[in-house]
Chain A
Amino acid sequence: MSNLDTSTAAEWPLWEVFVRSKSGLDHKHCGSLHAADPKMAIQMARDVYTRRQEGTSVWVVRSDQIVASDPADKDMYFDPMEDKVYRHPTFYRLPGSVDHM
């Protein structure tokens, strides 16, 4: 990241925060924060994102460790799926005992 100017280079790194609201559910992305290291990031995530009982578990990930798709590739990546309804398995009848699909 050679294009960082000195003011941002001196800042604490950015972390993405994921909170699991209860056991069995997935961790969901809920925001980000600046922290000096993993321990501080976890504590701050706890203080900022779970203060109203939102969570039972917290993950933090350095934002610069996330590999993202390029917005310029959006058309190429995602538009071709628009007219392919047959990829949605909506034509099958589910047994009554299968809920929440």
Chain B
Amino acid sequence: MQGSIAIDQSPSVQYLLRVGDTCLILGQRIAEWCGHAPILEEDIAMSNMALDLIGQARAVLTHAGQLEGRGHDEDQLAYLRDEKDYRNLTLVELPRGDFAFTVLRNAMVATLMKLLWERLRDSSDAELAGIAGKAIKEARYHQQHAADWVVRLGDGTDESRQRIEKALRELWLYVPELFESDAVDEAAQAQGLGPRWADLRAPWLEEMDTILDEATLSRPDEAAFRSTGKRGVHSEHMGFILAEMQHLQRAFPGGVW
């Protein structure tokens, strides 16, 4: 059994892990739809999106490993950390729910990532800027695809509306975490590595409002609850998804295809 690795706590590595882990965990969640989506075409669309996200995670984690300078590669970072060393948003680790929950979460995360990648194209870190230039195209499509479904479900049948409204109530609890600022964000901003995520709040709300308006849904009030995945304190769901993801690398260290 392979033991866990310890990771560097410097702000720039933490900042990259927030980006990479958010992609990694959402990619894993979306991949759970493979073979289960309501129609064949969506099954393939979900798998495509999962693979885009895992591709982005690979690039960012590889780079985080180089920056860290401890010889960790993408697989070690993806599969050999303890739960507290993952820096993804809590939002993305929540179980996949029904299709309404999935497409609304995808719309929320894709909108965030699109805004983030747009700004990371100007990062002082050339490698990160390069990754962003490629990822932005994928994020734009993810947003369009998910937003279309949110509109269809919001403006659809009684059942679809009731499901998307329920998803909206549940998911909106996790929004404040997206835009909370801390020392990691401030350091990234100061170094020119990337924006404070707090600065993405206004454009994010604007784009989400457009989607929700078209779906004839009303945006819930901001919750008092604060999730803390970005700081490594996760929901009860995180351990289960990590167990599934990590099993192979832990049982067969260094295993490759």
Contact = CB atoms under 8 A, between A and B. Distances in A.
B44 A35 contact: no
Contact of B44 (A34, A36, A39, A47): A47
Contacts of B44: 47-48, 51
Nearest to A35: B41
B45 interface: yes
Interface residues of A, number: 11
A7 B145 CA distance: 27
Contact of B45 (A34, A36, A39, A44): A44
A44 B48 CA distance: 11
Contacts of B145: 43, 47
Nearest to B144: A43
A40 interface: yes
Contacts of A39: 148
A29 to B, nearest CB: 17
Given A34-B39, A34-B41, A35-B41, A51 B48 contact: yes
A33 interface: yes
Given A40-B148, A43-B145, A43-B148, A33 B41 contact: yes
Contacts of B45: 43-44, 47-48
A25 B70 CA distance: 50
B151 to A, nearest CB: 10
Interface of A: 33-36, 39-40, 43-44, 47-48, 51
Given A33-B41, A35-B41, A48-B41, 6 more contacts: A33-B40, A34-B39, A36-B152, A40-B148, A48-B40, A48-B45
